[in-house]
Each structure stands twice: as structure tokens, then as C-alpha cells.
Amino acid sequence: MNEYLAAGSLIEGVVSDADSEAPNELEALRARVSELTERLRAARGSEEIQRAVLEGVPDYILELDTEGRIRFMNQTAPGFELEGVLGMPIFDFLSEESREPARRCLEQVLETEEAGAFDSTGLGPHRRLAHYHARLAPLTRGDGTRSLVMVATDITELRQAQLELKDSQERLHLTMAASGIGIWSWDREGDRIRWDTQTCRLFGVEEGWSPGSFDEYLALIHPDDRDAVRGAIFRSVETGVYEDIQHRIETPEGSTRWVLCKGDAQTDESGQVTRLLGAIVDVSDRRALEEQLLQSQKMEAVGQLAAGVAHNFNNMLAAILPNLELASRRAAPDIRRLLDAAREASTRAARIVRQLMLFAGGRHHAEQRRSEALDALVERTVEMCRNTFDRGIGIELRRDPALLPVRADSTQLEQVVLNALLNARDALDEVGDRERRIWVSVESISADDVPLEHAKGEWIRVRIEDNGAGIPAELRRRVFEPFFTTKEVGKGTGLGLATSYAIVREHGGVIDCSAGAEHGTVIDICLPADPSPEKTPSTPAPPETVGGKEHVLLVDDEALVRGAVLRVLEEAGYSVATAGDGAEALERFGRDTFDLVLLDLSLPRLSGRQVLSELRRQHPQARVICFSGTGETPPDANAFLDKPVGADTLLATVRDVLDAS
């Protein structure tokens, strides 16, 4: 091309020096030569532009012959020389798996005269493996020679970024699946909702499904929560701030789950919310634990209240019962009958107070627990109920063979089982013409089947199920509350299951109330098995009730109780001194000699335990009987009596301690 430009300039010079005798012809020739010269100069400029473009683009631009050999290449990658590339088949620079797709693409372009493309891996800069996206186009020269133009783009970094993005997405998906977190979005325009796989699982629907509209989504919410969810969503749209909310959902199978929704609101340029998106997670287990904790705290508070009430009642009954017994001994027969009726009523009141104390957790008679065969205990209780219940009630007992025993107070556990059976019996009054049945089972279960967190080892479960009318779910949560009853007025105190709850809890177990399979109610009593059973010692017969002449110190801050116990002891022949508080008791004991001390543990200021400790320090051999209405049992007392205590029991215990070696 440079040669053409030089020739044009020479011709132009020759024309300028020519004879001017033929001006028209010369002017025409000069114009033609000038035009040719400008075209040649423009061609040289275009060539320079093309060369700059070819050298400046980051892509590799090649011309291939019909066999795929390289005829031209705008640039070579670092580590390659152009002389070593020209004339080589392009396939030699591709990986084994990329050669056949490249060959097919080349043949197709030549055959169809249409552009094509393929992805490949091959040698890149410094002969390292690289990824390319290649585009092929047919080229036919003026002489009819056919070839192909290939533009290859290095996509190694893009491919690596795509792989990293895919890996990140997979890890995010696995993390969210493991954590149970689902992703959702709602586009207000078009009322379109999208769910991911985890959200579908949470709602119990097939993968890929999502509600067709916001109203269809609301239909999946528990009816009692729909208004709250609708309000929270609308407020989020109005304010542009998403309002987190916990609510219940209902799955197609009929189960109910608690979920927590957290999210964000996206707005357009005008500040209008166009989209809500966020996460949803199942919090059913957490809600259950929270309710269990709240229930436990509630029961603890009620228990403290019950303990205070029971303590006051105990003190009153502790004064009433001994006086009634003394009066009954002296009264005429017709008066004695009235006094005996009053004493019986007081005794029943004392039993209710003991139930209250059991519920309040005030009795920790662990030393009275022995290794017990729970199946035998249940069988005894069931047999008693069979003999006393209406004959129309069928009681079926099933028990596993070779059950491990439990460490328990048999009297207390019999009361628990009996309470459950009595409730089952009362529930059968409303079954109508349906057969009335109670099913009782005693079986070994694993810790996983116990409705108690961190349960370990083997457990024994007593299940008592009836086919009565059942208890509504909202009331089942309250059946273990004291004074709560579903029975008619006058048919229950509301203390039976509350007492059972306290007893089972004191034994390290758990008691639960649930709905039956079809009708009725199920009570489950779960207790940890005793892996090392011991032989239960026989209980000695109580000593004969007699009096004596010994000197006794009576310590109680309640004047009525002191007076009642004083009269019982003096009538039995004992010499009695009294003290109204701990300091007075220690002062009297220090200046007098006593054969026995009757010590109330619930003293103001200086407590009964402190008095007992000081007595033991001064006189290690002193005989001390402690009594209390809270179930407190100090280990260093010679004996312990529950308030209220009857005259016969009091005198028998006093005599037993005095006669002991």
C-alpha cells in the first residue's frame, strides 16, 4: 500500500509539470490522480486503525483454514511465539474433551455458512489450563478461497467466579436447610409469592409449590392468627419497616406449627414498598419449652402460696385435733359422737393440707423411698379399683415382663396412680351408651420417649387412658394446677392431679396429660428406673401408746398449739415446761435438766434448726423430737412428726424416743 501511495504522488508531480497547452485534459487527469492518492492515504489510515483494533482487543482473533489450521492470529498468549503457532491445527491447543465439540462446530459452520460457538478448555497464558468461549464465522475471499474467523474469549476468571458463586449458593442452601430456615418473597405488583424448598417443607407442601396470592397464603395461617399476620404485613407495607411476627400455620396433614417470620421491605424511587422478602423458621420446639418454663414458674409461684396457706392451716389444726381428742375422752357418749364428727372433719382437712404441702414441694422424705416394683404397685391399685368402681367400667391392665424397679415411696406412688384412675372413672360418666373402658399399661421406655429435656437412662411409664369425653386442649394445660377441676361443683377439690404432679416431680419423674387416640384422656407417669434395686426392709409395728413421768421441754411459737400439746402430755403424766421461741428454749435448757425436747422447726428469729444445732453442741446426747408443717426432716433429730399430730401418735412417738437406748 505504501508503494501505491508513492506512485500516486509521483504521477501528481508529473501532471503538475506537464505542458499547459491542453488545460482541460490536464485538469481532469490531475483530479483523477488526486482522488486516487486520497483513497490510497485513507486506505493506509484504515489499515492502521484495523491493526490497532486487532492488537488492542483482549480477545484472540484467528483465521483458520477449512482443516482448522491457524493462518492468522492477532496476538499470542504469554509463553507462546507467533512463529510456533501459525500453521498448527487449533485442536492441538485444546484439551482432549474439547477437541470433538470444536471439530463439530467447525464442520457445521462450513456446511451451513452460519456462525457458531463452543466452550472449551485449552492452553492459556504460560501454558496453564484456561477456559474459552469461541465464536466461529465463515469467510470467503474474492478468489473463492474459504476460511473461518474465530474469536476466542478467555473466560477463566468468569468460570472461576461462577464456580465460587455456585459453591457459595450450595453451602448457603445446606446451611439454611440444616438450620431449618426457609426463604420467601412477596411482590406486591402481580401479588406473586415465591417459596424455596425449605419453606415448602415447613408448610408441608410439595417442593416448588407456592401460594398463588396473598389471600391464599393467609388461608394457611391458623384462623386465630390471621388477623395479626394481616395487620403486621399491612403495617410493614405502610411504614417500609418489616414487622417480625410469630404465628401458627396449619399443614395439609392437619398439624399445627409455630413459625417466626423475619424480613425486609424493598421500596421504589418514590419510597413505596414493592416487595417483602425474608426468612421463616419453625419455632414450635422453642415455644413448647417457653410454655413449659412459664408453666413451671407458675406452678412454683402457686406452690409457694400453697405452702404458706398450708402452714397456717397446719398450726390451727395442730391446736384443734389434740383438744378434740382430749375432749372426746372426757365427754358423755352423745357429746362424744359430735366431737368425733368434728375430729373426722379435722382429719380430712389435715389430709388436704398434706396434699397442698406435697404440691408445694415441701416434703423431701427421700429416706422413705425404696426400690419398688412399679408393675406390682399398679396391679394392687388396679385391683382395688376393680372392686370399688362401678361394675360397668372395664379396666384392662397390660405390663411388660422383667421391668426394672423404681426408687419410690410406695404410698405416694399409689396415691398418684389412684388419683389418675379416679379421674378416668369420673370422665366415664359422660360417655352415654358407649362401652366404658380404662386401659392401664406399665412398660419400659427409653429416655428419648420421655417428655423431659436431658432425660437419660431407662424409664418406666405408667399410662392410664380412658374413652371418656376428653378434655379440651386449652384446659389440659391446667389440669395440674391446684384447685383447678373440670368436675361439677362439689365433686372435686382440684388437688388430686396437683398432688400427683408434685409427687412425681419429687421422684425425679414427669407426668403428662394428652388426648386419647379417638376419645378420652391419657395420663402418662414416667419415672427413672432404679438400676441397683435393694431389698425393702420390713416396717416395725408401732409402739404401744403409754405415758410417763419424764421432764419434757415443749418449744412452739403458737400459743394454741403449745396449749394443746401441753394438755396431752400432762394428762399422760409428763412434767412439761414450755418456751415460745428459740432463745427462751436455749435459756431454759441451760438452767434445767430435761429428758426430752419437743421442738417446732418453724420458729421466728432463731430457727428450730439453729436451736437443734446448739442443743447438739452443748448436749450431744439430748433427745429431740422435731415437728413441723413444712415436711422438713433434719437428720440429727431423734424423730420427726408432721403437723397436725394426733394425741395417740404424739404420745407413742414420745415414749418410743424416751425408751430408745
Helix (H, G, I), strand (E, B) or coil at 375: helix
Q: CA dihedral defined by 254, 257, 260, 263, rounded to 10 degrees?
A: -20
pLDDT digits (tens, 9 = 90+) for 598-640: 999 888 888 889 999 999 998 889 999 998 876 667 778 899 8
Helix (H, G, I), strand (E, B) or coil at 76: coil
Which of 210, 192, 185 has the alpha carbon at shortest distance from 200? 210
Q: d(Cα 222, Cα 245) in Å, to the nearest integer? A: 13
Helix (H, G, I), strand (E, B) or coil at 392: coil
pLDDT digits (tens, 9 = 90+) for 455-478: 888 999 999 999 888 887 777 777
Per-domain residue ranges of the chain? 2-55, 57-160, 180-282, 304-348+544-661, 366-528
CATH architecture of 366-528: 2-Layer Sandwich (3.30)
CATH of 180-282, one of 3.30.70.1290, 3.40.50.150, 3.30.450.20, 2.60.120.260: 3.30.450.20
Q: d(Cα 441, Cα 443) in Å, to the nearest integer? A: 6
Strands 245-250 vs 129-140: parallel, antiparallel or unpaired: unpaired
Is CATH 3.30.450.20 correct for 57-160? yes
CATH of 304-348+544-661, one of 3.40.50.410, 3.40.50.2300, 2.130.10.10, 3.40.1280.10: 3.40.50.2300
What mean pLDDT is predicted for residues 51-64? 69
The C-alpha angle with vertex 183 and arms to 179 and 187, in degrees rounded to 5, equals 170
Q: d(Cα 194, Cα 214) in Å, to the nearest integer? A: 11
Task: Kindly report whether the peptide bond that precedes residue 644 is cis, defined as omega within 30 degrees of 0.
Answer: yes
pLDDT digits (tens, 9 = 90+) for 115-126: 999 998 888 777
Q: d(Cα 312, Cα 326) in Å, to the nearest integer? A: 22
What mean pLDDT is predicted for residues 7-14? 40
pLDDT digits (tens, 9 = 90+) for 357-368: 665 655 545 546
Give the number of other CB atoms < 10 A from CB of residue 217: 20
Decide if 57-160 and 180-282 have a common fold: yes
Flag whether pLDDT at 17 surpasses 50: no
DSSP secondary structure letters along 187-200: ETTTTEEEE-HHHH
DSSP secondary structure letters along 292-346: HHHHHHHHHHHHHHHHHHHHHHHHHHHHHHHHHHHHHHHS-HHHHHHHHHHHHHH
Give the number of other CB atoms < 10 A from CB of residue 238: 10
pTM of the full structure: 0.44
pLDDT digits (tens, 9 = 90+) for 60-99: 888 899 999 988 888 766 777 778 788 889 998 899 999 9
Q: What is the pLDDT of residue 247?
A: 93
Edge-first strand listing for the sheet containing 70-73:
70-73, 60-64, 146-154, 129-140, 116-123
